[in-house]
């Protein structure tokens, strides 16, 4: 393995914690800093505050060996050759990213620098943030020769973040000097030179010693735009296939066949062509809005980004209307809601379409019993149990005596339901699938009326097809 680099990661949230543990797995010495003392205490004791595959194992492996957790930012910076900023950049009402946390951290870094240090933007930030970081450091009296600012955007998917970090599609480094670029190349050398993949306990994945990770060096401005442009493009694919799904449904076509046919084109590819409730989470909604705001500030009319958001928002209303059409009226109806997180394999409920749909159903007078394999605690904090909202211990408990079952999140568990048992459990065998986890023929064979996205609804022989509602 290449010579270890001493790294400070500021922020122990989703990006910071994953980066800290993965850098340690690559052989580096990590000082992970957070001002939340209770969170640091939890991490020091081996607790994992987020749901992420492989994270508990890697944290246990490297805790107090390759990675330490601390609230002492000054000491951590002084021990480190590179400082990664991984603090939150929440969305403002205007759509712009709130960079106040970044600025506060940079001011603290300025007081701690004692030698040449590479300061790395790891948080998702708009273009020219690197220049503002440089200005803040200068304003605090830091000599320009004692630091460089680098952009190193993350491309992590919740649920597969560890694998994405250690087996990346690409590593993007936006550096303004060769000196800074060399430090970043040393940090990522275990992946780009392939030595990590030769280790007997390396995390398995698509990359190998003979097929290592690729690193792209650009300007900082280009790197900052790559991150926002990538997420906006993926969000566009999701909104596009959902718009096509609405057309497919109107003409009795099947969006699953359409997506398969499109995805066979190597120029398009099959990923992110899944029709459903639309995107959510901490990245796509915020990044599309921030990218739009940046374009507006520079006088660029990027109207496509606004349409992406509008289509995504409309999917939740369309699904609500599907529920209304299937059960006729909602007041007093008992509905099972399967899924609370914004997608499977994560407990993140930020901007979750499932949460939004459940709120709409409750407002319409429905009684909802919800279940999620991982996001129950977070959901109950956002939507406390009430007379009309209950939380179940498993999906069959949620479905007991339900007038309809709604699939809101694409958990693997929901794609392998015992359909015969489900039919015996519900009051009426109606499934409204916002994630297209089943084939219509399979559902009708098991006695269900089945409504999905972008496909004709299928009705069990004993149930008549209702006339369409004008909504």
Which residues form the catalytic set? 283
3-state secondary structure 14-65: HHHHHHHHHHHHCCCEEEEECCCHHHHHHHHCCCCCCCCCCHHHHHHHHECC
Which of 273, 243, 277 lies closest to 352, judged by CA?
A: 277
Is beta strand 147-151 parallel, antiparallel or unpaired with respect to 117-121?
parallel
Residue 434 tokens read as 């916002």
Helix axes 255-263, 220-250, angle to 10 degrees: 140
Distance CA 253, CA 361 (A): 28
- Do residues 403 and 430 lie in contact, with contact meaning Cβ atoms separated by under 8 Å? yes
Question: How far apart, in whole angstroms, are the C-alpha atoms of residue 471 and residue 393?
Answer: 35
CB 95 within 8 A of CB 110: no
DSSP string spanning 211-278? S---EEEE-HHHHHHHHHHHHHHHHHHHHHHHHHHHHHHHTT--HHHHHHHHHTSTTT-STT---SS-
CB-hemisphere CA count at 13 Å for 356? 21
d(CA 446, CA 4): 58
Which of 178, 188, 180, 177 is closest to 214 using CA atoms?
A: 188
| Cα gap 419→405, rounded to integer Å | 12
End-to-end CA distance of the chain: 63
For residue 241, which of 252, 221, 256 has the smallest C-alpha distance? 256
């Amino acid at each position: 393995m290449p010579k270890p680099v001493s790294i400070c990661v500021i922020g122990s949230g989703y990006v910071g914690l994953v980066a800290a543990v993965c850098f340690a797995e690559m052989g580096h010495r990590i000082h992970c800093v957070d001002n939340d003392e209770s969170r640091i205490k939890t991490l020091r004791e081996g607790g994992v505050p987020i749901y992420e595959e492989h994270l508990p194992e890697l944290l246990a492996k490297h805790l107090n060996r390759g990675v330490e957790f601390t609230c002492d930012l000054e000491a951590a910076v002084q021990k480190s050759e590179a400082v990664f900023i991984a603090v939150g950049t929440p969305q403002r009402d205007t759509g712009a990213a709130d960079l106040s946390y970044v600025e506060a951290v940079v001011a603290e870094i300025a007081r701690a620098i004692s030698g040449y240090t590479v300061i790395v933007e790891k948080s998702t930030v708009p273009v020219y943030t690197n220049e503002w970081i440089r200005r803040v450091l200068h304003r605090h009296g830091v000599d320009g020769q004692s630091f460089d600012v680098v952009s190193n955007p993350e491309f992590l998917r919740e649920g597969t973040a560890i694998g994405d970090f250690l087996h990346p599609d690409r590593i993007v480094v936006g550096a303004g000097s060769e000196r800074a670029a060399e430090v970043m190349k040393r940090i990522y050398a275990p992946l780009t030179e392939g030595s990590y993949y030769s280790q007997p306990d390396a995390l398995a994945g698509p990359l190998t010693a003979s097929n290592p990770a690729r690193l792209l060096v650009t300007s900082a401005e280009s790197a900052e735009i790559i991150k926002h442009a990538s997420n906006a493009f993926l969000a566009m694919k999701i909104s596009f296939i959902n718009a096509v799904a609405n057309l497919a449904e109107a003409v009795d076509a099947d969006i699953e066949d359409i997506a398969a046919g499109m995805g066979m084109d190597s120029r398009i590819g099959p990923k992110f062509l899944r029709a459903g409730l639309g995107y959510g989470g901490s990245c796509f909604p915020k990044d599309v809005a921030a990218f739009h705001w940046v374009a507006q500030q520079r006088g660029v009319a990027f109207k496509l980004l606004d349409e992406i958001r509008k289509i995504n928002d409309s999917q939740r209303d369309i699904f609500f209307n599907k529920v209304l059409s299937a059960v006729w009226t909602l007041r007093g109806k008992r509905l099972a809601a399967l899924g609370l997180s914004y997608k499977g394999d994560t407990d993140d409920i930020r901007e979750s379409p499932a949460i939004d749909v459940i709120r709409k159903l409750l407002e319409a007078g429905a009684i909802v019993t919800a279940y999620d394999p991982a996001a129950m605690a977070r959901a109950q904090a956002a939507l406390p149990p009430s007379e009309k909202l209950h939380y179940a211990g498993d999906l069959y408990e949620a479905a007991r005596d339900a007038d309809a079952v709604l699939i809101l999140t694409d958990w693997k568990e929901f794609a392998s339901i015992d359909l015969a048992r489900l039919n015996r459990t519900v009051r009426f065998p109606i499934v409204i699938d916002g994630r297209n986890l089943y084939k219509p023929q399979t559902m009708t064979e098991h006695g269900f009326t089945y409504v999905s996205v972008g496909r004709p609804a299928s009705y069990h022989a004993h149930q008549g097809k209702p006339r369409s509602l004008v909504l």
